[in-house]
Structure 1
């Protein structure tokens, strides 16, 4: 099954594997080629923008000076700061001082983490693109490509990620039922089971899923950061 998951970036991601583990199923191999599915997300305006980014031929960049190198170092530190801050937020969320047996509470907490990721990662991505635009011709082209891809794939990603908090509820209910019914009989009202080991397990699962989602959201940032680390001797085409 591991061999199949490497056939496509989607099934091979830690995020998808985490979702599959929550539902106790294997992540299936995609039936369509990933590139083919991406083309279905492009409108004609996106196609023109992508074509312009691919065909653009910027003038050769000069050797980076101290200011450019200092900017790259600053970007590196900012990326590390944002990641560390979001990891800390996820950890605090999963270790809430007031654990609740009401799933709605955890859903709200998950969504709050997603909103924090979006509000901090998007500006960071734009910042890295601006830095790359001042680099080599290849780096400037990558910055333009990433802008187009964020507009197209980013919209799809955001739409899909909004469904994730709801996908946690079956796992929450499963763990709560496994502890034992709070009341007897199918006709009896379903009162939440008190907090206990089952809730600790759920919070650990939620933390793992949030961290996997954070890694997914940071993939483009990591790619731009890696491009920004290109040695100065390679900054000319």
Structure 2
């Protein structure tokens, strides 16, 4: 008998990567995005959103110097900086399993990397770094939009409201990522233990393999970089609005 095939998961790379690392099927959403947003945005944010959409902001002249600054690969610079922070994090530093002999500070560090709480703490720390960096970028881009047309000013106001309205929900949803990675970590470790028992050797001094740990680190790094891309999507939308205005104004 053939095992039933898992349903294809659609969406951003972040979602597809997490789905690939889990053993459970991910059901398709029962409601549309607009229906879900209606449940996530409370009445106070709904009022603020309505005000931002219905307002008549005054027209302003977009300073070319500000526009050039926006188009000067600011979004790419922030992404590169945050991606470097992820890749260079100590969670992905190579470690050698401790061999026989007295314990040391280095061996204690190695022991720490063999348990998931270490990686969970690093993931949460990197999430905070991403949230802060992307938040500053969105504020910068919104400030640029306020120097543009009434539509651009309105877009900046809407983005600010949506960031406040969905921030808590976003953090709650993204907090599931380290939990899913923890399950992936345990499955890889258990599989490695089973394989080691099956291939047991008389050489007691043989260093244990950490191939499973390197696989987990690679997967965790991939998930973090994919999450970064998801977090940057609102900022990329704001930047696209600025570039569209620049293109139209010079046409």
- The count of aligned residue pairs is 219
Distance 1:97 1:174, change over 3 A: same
Unaligned runs of 5+ residues in structure 2 are: 96-109, 199-206
How far apart are 1:97 and its partner, in Å? 3.9
Q: Does 1:219 align with 2:215?
A: no
Distance 1:71 1:146, change over 3 A: same
**Aligned counterpart, 1:189:** none
Q: TM-score, with normalisation over the residues of structure 1?
A: 0.83
Three-state SS of the structure 2 residue aligned to 1:60 is: coil
**Aligned counterpart, 1:115:** 128
Higher RCO (Cα < 8 Å, 6 or more apart):
2
How far apart are 1:223 and its partner, in Å? 0.6
Q: Does 1:203 align with 2:202?
A: no
Deviates more, 1:24-33 or 1:84-93: 24-33
How far apart are 1:2 and its partner, in Å? 11
**Does the aligned pair in 1 maintain the 2:63–2:147 contact within 8 Å?**
no
Distance 1:195 1:53, change over 3 A: farther
How far apart are 1:3 and its partner, in Å? 10
User: Following superposition of structure 1 onto structure 2, how do residues 60-209 of structure 1 map, counting pairs within 5 Å?
Assistant: 60-62=59-61, 64-73=62-71, 76-93=72-89, 95-98=92-95, 100-181=113-194, 194=208, 196-209=210-223
Distance 1:2 1:142, change over 3 A: farther
Q: TM-score, with normalisation over the residues of structure 2?
A: 0.78
- Greater Rg, structure 1 or structure 2? 2
Equivalent-residue separation in structure 2 for 1:53 and 1:173 (angstroms)? 47
